[in-house]
Chain A
Amino acid sequence: DGGITQSPKYLFRKEGQNVTLSCEQNLNHDAMYWYRQDPGQGLRLIYYSQIVNDFQKGDIAEGYSVSREKKESFPLTVTSAQKNPTAFYLCASSADKSSYNEQFFGPGTRLTVL
């Protein structure tokens, strides 16, 4: 059963804490992405990775960090430097970063800062 999974589904964080969101895929995809979605808005790119041990900033990378130590995994850390982290976070993957490839999305993690 191939796909992309995210955990947890819901996450609550106190102000000032770092928190890590998990993203795993077994599609053998090279490229992975993290997006942020706010109510009534589209997706904004946080970070992407085209290959293991390499990643690039997207439009809104400030306050976030990522790692890509394994092909299957692309965790996102929301740091205390992110001023407004409450949002819906979506992870995606594609065969490679060619824009002709469809992106496969995980079910998302809803992060709430208390």
Chain B
Amino acid sequence: SQQGEEDPQALSIQEGENATMNCSYKTSINNLQWYRQNSGRGLVHLILIRSNEREKHSGRLRVTLDTSKKSSSLLITASRAADTASYFCATDDSSVNNDMRFGAGTRLTVKP
């Protein structure tokens, strides 16, 4: 069963704009991770936020976590065409050996 669900399913913006993607999950977690996938390739880890953290930054990425709402957001600022990819959130499922659960992803298109 998939734990995380991303919203929106697809997002199209112009270069230079900000992109915000959201992730909701169902059960308690220890941490939440965001990954990026270019078309037809493997996933690349972007950032991990622990359950006791509320916000984390890495370069142009900003991740927030609201455990009371069981949701997270990924903000990409000043987007570039090279940011075009699918973005997935992944949560650890403590009910099943902490297996990682991936959502269906948000497909981001950044137009030059």
A residues within 8 Å of B by Cβ? Answer: 4, 35, 40-45, 48, 56, 58-59, 88, 90, 92, 97-100, 102-108, 110
Contact = CB atoms under 8 A, between A and B. Distances in A.
Chain B interface size, under 10 / 10 to 19 / 20 to 34 / 35 or more: 20 to 34
Most buried by B among A40, A43, A44, A98: A43
Contacts of B30: 99-100
Interface string B35-60: 00000111111001010000000000
Contacts of A45: 99-100
A44 B1 CA distance: 8
Interface stretch (B14-22, B66-74, B76-84, B101-109): B101-109
B98 A104 contact: no
A97 B99 CA distance: 8
Nearest to A3: B42
